Structure 1
Amino acid sequence: MSASTIRSWVIGNWKMNPVQADAQQLIQNLKQLLQHGPIAEQDCQLGIAPVSIALLPVREQLEDAAVKVVTVAQDVSRFPATGAYTGEISADLLKDSSIQFVLIGHSERREFFGDGPAVVADKIKHALAAGLTVIYCVGESLEQRESGLAEQVVLQQICDVASVVKQEQWSNVMIAYEPIWAIGTGKTASPQDAQSMHAKIREGLQQIAIQAGNSAILYGGSVKPENAVELAACPDINGALVGGASLNAESFYQIAQAFAKTK
């Protein structure tokens, strides 16, 4: 499978936003846009990652959307099944609640909550064992990029978890490349820089497993309607993990349209 034939994904990461009433209105606005201008699933699959307390309400509200929009958990416990882990939500509990997708390894989790390589690997192992699809986030800091270490850092983050992903499980893994210096800053990697890194990631994945080379690789880092078309035109960019722009239904919809039309 070539990169150009991999299905595009646009996933909105709401992070710790918004309040319940605004979340309901945001979903309603998105559903109205999709009702009037559907985006075919084969052209671009959509997903929303709300805060944990909104996972079920958002999933239920999306059930009657004109097109399929999956609900994505923003994180998952490193511990499996059930047990005495106050405040945690395991992959098994997500699956039991019909949440099939999860973000793992986001830079904010790594920086603020101590999600080092071992923790991230545990989360991925248990998520895949439970049958979830993982969106694994990788990315370098500005200092690492300016030091010429960007590719080394990103490829190492992939190697950190390769041992816990079985060959056949790579079909349930997506990669989200998010340069840390571009997250929430308004700065965006140029399409050329983003494509170059995505191509390196795909090359690294192909060396790990044939199936891994077919994984969708999403770009994240201040994605907005103004740069979505250029990013979508890059052959190895298979979609976007959208932060702030996903809190506006029109902006999120326009980004999804850009990938649906280009791919």
Structure 2
Amino acid sequence: MSGSTITPWVIGNWKMNPVKADALQLVENFKQLLQVQPIDENKCYLGFAPISIALTSIQSELASLNRVVYTVAQDVSRVAGMGAYTGEVSAELLKDHGIQYVLIGHSERREIFAEDAHILKKKISNALNAEMTIIYCVGESLEQREAGQAEAVVLQQICDIASVVSAEQWQNLVIAYEPIWAIGTGKTASPEDAQAMHAKIREGLNQITALGSKIAILYGGSVKPENAVELAACPDINGALVGGASLNAESFYQIAQAFANTK
């Protein structure tokens, strides 16, 4: 079943960028764009994922808008609650600071920081128990795609977490498909290839949960204004997880506008 009736999400993942002054200026520029030409929040959900030490300051800056723009954590601890875990930030502490949304499973966390299914399940479970909403990232490497394993790899990544997500909790998940070979490379999956994978993810979700047709599936991987309209036109692409282009207010605004106006 197509996900074309799902309200799209456009989330900017700032990764380990930028410095404080630039972050505040970026938000100010984006606020001005929204004031000149608003994007109806019923047509597109918006969010920014800044570095952890900027979460609450960015949240405060966004609070003055006349529409909601969510603040999203880039990561969460595998450890729940509080305790002697230097450097960690738990789901409960994020929630206590008003952070409702979190990225989990990004390929950079999987590859650089060796986060496997065991670790990701702990993070998913903790975030869900804290009643957070998760943007769960999946995607295949170039080698896996060339070997014809892309669909199997992506569906396995979704199956990996199914055991810790209850029937009701699937409504608190958003899936972000990011082919690893397209992240930060300037390469983008063609709209046809991206739609085919999103349709396969939708099919897999429908086999796992009765809520499969209602879960947003975002595309990530060198999303920019030049390809946003084509991607937004695909029926099973319900938004975008934007990397580099989200560090420019105008580019991010144009991507959000493309999804708001197309869906």
Q: TM-score range by the shorter chain?
A: over 0.9
Q: Deviations over 1:195-239 (max 9, x none)?
A: 000000000000001113311000000000000000000000000
Partners of 1:25 and 1:35 in 2: CA distance: 15
Q: Deviations over 1:29-77 (max 9, x none)?
A: 0000001111011100100000000000000000011321000000000
After superposition, residues 37-186 of structure 1 pair within 5 angstroms as 37-186=37-186
2:168 alignment partner, SS class: helix
**What TM-score, normalized by structure 1, do the two folds share?**
0.99
Contact 2:137 2:177 in 1 (8 A): yes
Are 1:215 and 2:215 matched, yes or no?
Answer: yes
Contact 2:133 2:173 in 1 (8 A): yes
Please name the residue that 1:194 is paired with.
194
Q: Deviations over 1:67-126 (max 9, x none)?
A: 210000000000101111110000000000000000000000001111100001110011
Specify whether residues 189 and 2 from structure 1 end up closer, same or farther in structure 2 by C-alpha distance, changes over 3 A only.
Answer: closer
1:167 alignment partner, SS class: coil
Letter in 2 for 1:10: V
**Structure 1 residue 248: deviation in Å?**
0.1
Partners of 2:231 and 2:135 in 1: CA distance: 19
Please name the residue that 1:258 is paired with.
258
What runs of 5+ residues in structure 2 fail to find an aligned partner?
none
Contact 2:217 2:238 in 1 (8 A): yes
Superposition RMSD on alpha carbons, in Å? 0.8
Contact 2:132 2:172 in 1 (8 A): yes
Please name the residue that 2:245 is paired with.
245
State the identity as a percent.
72
1:231 alignment partner, SS class: helix
**Structure 1 residue 2: deviation in Å?**
4.9
**What TM-score, normalized by structure 2, do the two folds share?**
0.99
Please name the residue that 2:16 is paired with.
16
Greater alpha carbon shift after TM alignment, 160-169 vs 205-214:
205-214
Count of residues in Structure 1 that have an aligned counterpart in Structure 2: 263
**Structure 1 residue 160: deviation in Å?**
0.3
Contact 2:48 2:69 in 1 (8 A): yes
**Structure 1 residue 259: deviation in Å?**
0.1
User: Which runs of 4 or more aligned residues in structure 1 lie more than 4 Å from their structure 2 counterparts after TM superposition?
Assistant: none
What runs of 5+ residues in structure 1 fail to find an aligned partner?
none
